[in-house]
Amino acid sequence: MIARAADILRALGHEADGLSLGQIARKVNLPRSTVQRIVSALSSEGFISTEDGSGGIRLGPEIQMLAQASVRDTKDLLRPVMQHIAEETGETVDLAIMDGSKMLFVDQIVGRQRLRTVSSIGESFPLTTTANGRAALACLDEADAARLALAESENSPGAIGTLPHLLQDIQAIRDGALATDEDNHTEGVSALGFAVQDPVGRIYAISVPVPSSRYGRLKPQLARVLDKHRADIANRLQLSQQRT
């Protein structure tokens, strides 16, 4: 029962617009009647909510509060690694979490360069044109990644180029490549990054954005530093779940 409820919560966590009972049943491969019973139990505890008349089932206030507390703990756990990356590169290091169909910036170490890139904590960014977003998409299965990418491209025509090319990039990231943003989201800003999924399905992304004027020169160094610390980030996310 607990494992099935967790599967349902994970499915809802990737859907900002909510899901119907039938959609949840298909995603978690359970009978609709079973899903309805679990949804009813989760709803009574405030873990999920349904808007009147919409049929859209979403994560509820209780799970959101737990998630916010968990994010705060994870930020504290990952910050020492982010600090190492910043010290070794001299550049800004961003931490983002996948929040439905967008990336939410939750922490940042500001670089020491005079010309540097800085974003606001709490700011949201797209999935398909950012390094952290593309890295997060690579953590999903192919169908979900393609669906989210297609939806975003339909809302912002021409933003990502061709969808097949983007999906090839996402597959390369799944195979171990770092995610790139080379003037894709903001002209004059490029980035490298990777994402890791924690044991309960939350996807965190670390990225290093730099002015494009020095990106080409720095890219090999940035790649070495990020690859060096990738396993540490994954291990710490495992540890964060053991503490909860």
| pLDDT tens profile 210-233 | 999 999 999 999 999 999 999 999
Question: What pLDDT does 204 receive?
Answer: 94
| Among candidate residues 236, 237, 7, 13, the one with its CA nearest the CA of residue 104 | 13
Q: What pLDDT digit, counting tens, does each position of 51-74 carry?
A: 654 558 887 776 666 556 566 778
Question: What pLDDT does 21 receive?
Answer: 87
Question: What pLDDT does 216 receive?
Answer: 95
CATH topology of domain 63-243: Beta-Lactamase (3.30.450)
- Please provide the average confidence, as pLDDT, over all residues in the chain: 85
- For the chain, domain boundaries: 2-59, 63-243
**Beta carbons of 174 and 145 less than 8 angstroms apart:** no
DSSP at 112: S
Mean pLDDT in residue range 122-138 = 93
Residue 205 pLDDT > 90: yes
CATH of domain 2-59: 1.10.10.10
